[in-house]
Chain A
């Protein structure tokens, strides 16, 4: 049996060693972590327009991803009324850097809806036409889910999507990110019907409408419903902005 003092000394030494080594490792690796995360979010944005890139995203090197992002993509930030927000105002609302890619959507969704700002990425294709990449965020079964939706220049046809999630179950809800053939279903779907905003739905048991619905995922009904809700609500936020481009 150890005395109380021995126990205290042992615990003190153990926790000091563990916390100092973990803390120094954390701050030492932080720059690399941040670089990786910035690159990862660029890749996530580009994966929505996968089919328009020169090569599959997995074959593009890290430098090439940054190059495509810097040369072919124009970043703007809009508010809920569809007006463009300048970098200083974005920075003032709490996003260091002020560009669209600097916006932390997790922070933004906590604000009242009318105060939120939205990132828009405009991809200039080599033939001169444009793709609009919009960001949406919602709730899955366990935690947040989010995604990038790329629209063709007609602003209705989806040219690609990419979803991600914080903690959905691997093999079930996580399929919204991992199952490439499920994600591919969104390509060519439309979000407007006769000029009215309609969005795209995920239907359990298989899509019945070829233009506005995609198949559900077995065992992941709640996550799939979350995707439908996220698209319906998230894309509606962009309506004022999309109207200004159309007119």
Chain B
């Protein structure tokens, strides 16, 4: 895991140059939190049964990594090193609770759907990992970009895994029924001539399949980007 401290610039203007773009795009590919750093696996197993859940989780994590990175970066020079981990944890937990209370007041239905995920965000190692590895050493603007990038890198893998699990496990995408054994599906395997042999694989719905899919993804990712081999 190569963390390069972004050079402190003299000017305080908010620019969006090559360096900033790299902060956003690096976590999507060569420094991906899941397939390269292998962080956040626990929640990747839990919420990838459907694409809708994965999307909601991805948006929530992007929000929390962005804000917690920003806040910790603002405070970075005044946080005593001895207690920095606890301070990071307090900030993450406070942010998540803030989101929870607001949602419960203004969007109760989404709160009900999200409440299962909220605990998973606090314990997501990516959030704390980025605070420790990046926000403690860099300026707020760069830290916020890094937070968005890492949240997005996590979200993309979540959506890819959820696509395979939902499509091959339930024959659906975003709850939209594509292929399955009843008339509710777009392709009804009971009547279809070409797809009559097809049956959804129940294993894909269960947690072990997420492990297989992530494993294959890591392999594919490294085959496609050979630079990654042997660096982590």
Q: Contact check, B202 vs A170: say whether CB atoms are below 8 A apart.
A: no
Task: List which A140-185 residues lie within 8 A (CB) of chain B.
Answer: 167-172, 174, 181
Does B156 touch A at the CB level, under 8 Å? no
Q: Which of B29-37, B76-84, B139-147, B212-220 contacts A (4 or more CB under 8 A)?
A: B76-84
Q: Which of A9-17, A68-76, A106-114 contacts B (4 or more CB under 8 A)?
A: A9-17
Does B194 touch A at the CB level, under 8 Å? no
Q: Contact check, B50 vs A170: say whether CB atoms are below 8 A apart.
A: yes
Q: Contact check, B82 vs A7: say whether CB atoms are below 8 A apart.
A: yes
Chain A nearest CB from B102 CB (Å) reads 8
Q: CA–CA, A25 to B105, complex, Å? A: 11
Q: Which of B93-101, B129-137, B223-231 contacts A (4 or more CB under 8 A)?
A: B93-101
Given contacts A22-B97, A29-B105, contact A2 B82 (CB under 8 A): yes
**Chain B interface mostly:** helix
Q: Contact check, A25 vs B205: say whether CB atoms are below 8 A apart.
A: no
Given contacts A22-B97, A36-B108, A40-B108, contact A172 B80 (CB under 8 A): no
Which of A2, A21, A169, A170 lies at the interface centre, i.e. has the most chain B CB atoms within 10 A of its CB?
A170
Chain A residues near B42 (CB, 8 Å)? none
How many A residues touch B, CB cutoff 8 Å?
30
Which of B108, B112, B117, B184 lies at the interface centre, i.e. has the most chain A CB atoms within 10 A of its CB?
B108
Number of A-B residue pairs having CB atoms within 8 Å of each other in the complex: 76
Q: Contact check, A169 vs B202: say whether CB atoms are below 8 A apart.
A: no
Does B49 touch A at the CB level, under 8 Å? yes
Q: Contact check, A10 vs B90: say whether CB atoms are below 8 A apart.
A: no
Chain B residues near A169 (CB, 8 Å)? 46, 49, 116
Does B222 touch A at the CB level, under 8 Å? no
Q: Contact check, A170 vs B90: say whether CB atoms are below 8 A apart.
A: no
Chain A nearest CB from B95 CB (Å) reads 10
Q: CA–CA, A126 to B78, complex, Å? A: 68
Does A1 touch B at the CB level, under 8 Å? yes
Q: Contact check, B49 vs A29: say whether CB atoms are below 8 A apart.
A: no
Chain B nearest CB from A177 CB (Å) reads 9
Give the nearest-CB partner of B82 in chain A: A7
Q: Which of B79, B90, B202 contacts A15 (CB 8 A)?
A: B90
Q: Which of B81, B105, B169 contacts A33 (CB 8 A)?
A: B105
Q: CA–CA, A169 to B94, complex, Å? A: 25
Does A245 touch B at the CB level, under 8 Å? no
Identify 4 new A-B residue pairs, CB closer than 8 A, beyond the known A11-B80, A170-B49, A171-B205: A10-B87, A14-B90, A33-B105, A172-B205
Chain A residues with CB under 8 Å of chain B are 1-2, 6-7, 10-11, 14-15, 18, 21-22, 25-26, 29, 32-33, 36-37, 39-40, 167-172, 174, 181, 218-219
